[in-house]
Chains A and B, each alone.
Chain A
């Protein structure tokens, strides 16, 4: 694991998640997010990335999922029984996959709802808004448009900005790159890095875009079929031959041609 000197904000200890009492989705996932770091949770479709995030934020129950084994701790305290409302108050907030902005509310109203859990005066609220607009200047220009009519990138920014309004210490960011143009993806990730270094917010981000995620993250976990199959520093993972082959589409022979896409040169050594 990482050096013991690092303070773990969030630690998940071998959790198991079952949907609808029958479908076993996570089979003992453990991971740690140190304070002030960006941790990437990587893997293909259906690997269990979103489920892991929802298990932490406790949005699972609304989808008939249940954490049946293991524990989730935040700053040394168990949080697996807390409601999302209490979690947000403690500083853990999730930005859901697919953005989920309130389409009929304006961008500014969206941001304001983010501060629902915060007892703020009108002046403080304004200050916070300005701070979010500082990080997301695009949102300021669209502040009075209905969120449903803004672009995908703007909605993603709105969703992150809305989470910021709740004064989080840790953001669980689910698939921020989904459906966005590569340039916008970079823009969003740059802001994430900014928030991380300047506001000290820790991130756990689930991503399919391994390349971008490893570029910005400090640490990464690779999830496959509900299990962590690999973990390590982002740089380490980037240079790992398996990761290159299976997740980055690179092999020692350089970029793969589509012709031999079916024939991996390597075997996934973690499959027994």
Chain B
């Protein structure tokens, strides 16, 4: 039984890491109705900026601040040079633009900071917490727990921001109807710049966590793919949905990895490892059939 819980908790904690990436998607989707394909690339850019600045001799805190500045500037530039030209274009045009943006970042970032993989040391050790090890005989990573704490704070802040502040309300209004928002005097440019700035900040947090865990390397851009099933489960428009979706995906993929292969091997014989890699996508697919808007997503309102 301890083993089950160990797997479950480990899964939940890694799910939090997925949720961190998914959050960035949710933000931009909420405010502009666009699936931002470049979110993974932004995570990479953020992590690379931190690692790059540290390599040049900056201490961690300064590197993080510099990376934050870079991400904010990047967000503003994206609004200015890409989105502003595409107001009132169909969402697919904006989506294509974000694909272009992703390739642009993936090309530019290594050019500036170098492309070799490197480690990112946040000063949090990735080792089992003695308490759980002694009392429960479970291996729970300290790093994962810290990451979970950071993610919870981030989610709580963002949820409050969206629900209660003037700008948060305006963000949701813009997501609902660009033109109407424009007509009542909400300046779309500011709103989009803010959203991309915040999404950049979320990418920075995700980049720090993922970079510290897996090293800063090009593979970070693929974290975006892991966020996809999370989004489908949680709903593209819900901040809490991203976190719940992340938890479900994280826990289920780890449990599936442990408990399904023996069953399959019993039926068919042979080796069924690596389920973890594709299980979330199957889950997402099933979910799409049953509840396409996700657990917490906004239902499409149709009046009949």
Contact of B301 among A57, A84, A146, A166 (CB under 8 A): A146
What 0/1 readout, one digit per residue, does chain A (70-86) give for beta carbons within 8 Å of chain B?
00000000000001110
CB proximity to B under 8 Å, residues A140-180: 146, 148-149, 162-163, 166
B contact residues around A105 at 8 Å (CB): 169, 172-173, 176
B79 to chain A: closest CB distance in Å?
15
Are A84 and B176 in contact (CB-based, < 8 A)? no
Q: Does B181 contact A (CB under 8 A)?
A: yes
Interface residues on B, range: 20 to 34
Interface residue A233 (Cβ < 8 Å from any Cβ of B): no
Interface range on chain A (Cβ under 8 Å from partner): 20 to 34
- In the assembled complex, B303 has its CB within 8 A of some CB on chain A: yes
A62 to B88, CA, bound (A): 6
- CB-CB < 8 A to A84: which residues of B? 182-183, 185
Near B by CB (< 8 A), chain A positions 97-119 give: 100-105, 109-110, 112-114, 116-117
Alpha-carbon distance between A134 and B262 when the two chains are bound, in angstroms: 68
What are the residues of chain B within 8 A of A57 when measuring CB–CB? 183
Contact status of A63 and B176, CB under 8 A, knowing A84-B185, A85-B187, A146-B301: no
B-contacting residues of A (Cβ < 8 Å)? 57, 59, 62-63, 83-85, 87-89, 93-96, 100-105, 109-110, 112-114, 116-117, 146, 148-149, 162-163, 166
Interface set of B (CB-CB < 8 Å, partner A): 87-88, 166, 169-170, 172-173, 175-187, 298, 301, 303
25 pairs of residues in contact across A and B, judged by CB atoms under 8 Å: A59-B179, A62-B87, A62-B178, A62-B179, A62-B182, A83-B187, A84-B185, A87-B185, A89-B185, A100-B183, A102-B181, A103-B177, A105-B172, A105-B173, A105-B176, A112-B166, A113-B186, A116-B184, A117-B185, A117-B186, A148-B301, A148-B303, A149-B303, A163-B184, A166-B184
